[in-house]
Amino acid sequence: MNQSLDQAKKFVQQHTSLAIIGTADQEGFPHLAMESGIRWVSERRLEFESWFCLATIRNLRENPKVAIAIFDPKTQKGYQLLGQIESIKEGAIMDGYISGEKPDEKAIPPQSYRLEIAIEKILPFSSGPHSDSSLS
């Protein structure tokens, strides 16, 4: 593992409470979600287990490309992890229902999902001027 990858892995392991996940549908329309529950499981592989919204899951089934930002709000620095979904596994289902996101969708029970993500690029993530140069 190179030094930049090692630093990113350590940062992610220390900042698991909040991550922003960016997806896009087939037409490229973007969607952001805030989640927790991310784990670095091998050199270039993450697992993300959470109660993702329907738009995130639908987008990932249509377009497996994903961007994840993990940062420290105090320093406004962190990492952007770019990759591709390898699998989406359904988890627990809650009692009760939530309304569908579109008027013609039926109400559904909230469900947790586990995402397995292959990381292709790691970039620094910060406010202010930056280069977006890949670290790995």
Please give the chain's pLDDT, 136 residues, in tens. 466 888 888 998 888 778 999 999 999 999 999 988 888 898 899 998 887 888 899 999 999 999 999 999 899 999 999 999 999 988 766 555 555 555 566 555 567 888 999 999 999 999 887 777 777 6
d(CA 127, CA 91): 35
Q: What local confidence, expressed as pLDDT, does residue 16 receive?
A: 77
Task: Specify whether domain 3-126 bears CATH 3.30.1490.190.
Answer: no
Q: Full-prediction pTM beyond 0.85? A: no
For residue 72, what are the β-bridge partners? 77
* Order of all β-strands in the sheet with 111-126: 30-35, 19-24, 65-72, 77-93, 111-126, 45-50, 38-42
Residue 98 DSSP label: B
Indicate the SS3 state at residue 118.
Answer: strand
Q: What local confidence, expressed as pLDDT, does residue 99 receive?
A: 55
Q: Which residues of 79-113 are buried (b: 16+ CB within 10 A; e: fewer)?
A: bbbbbebeeeeeeeeeeeeeeeeeeeeeeeeeeeb
Domain chopping of the chain, boundaries: 3-126
Q: Are 100 and 108 in contact (CB under 8 A)?
A: yes
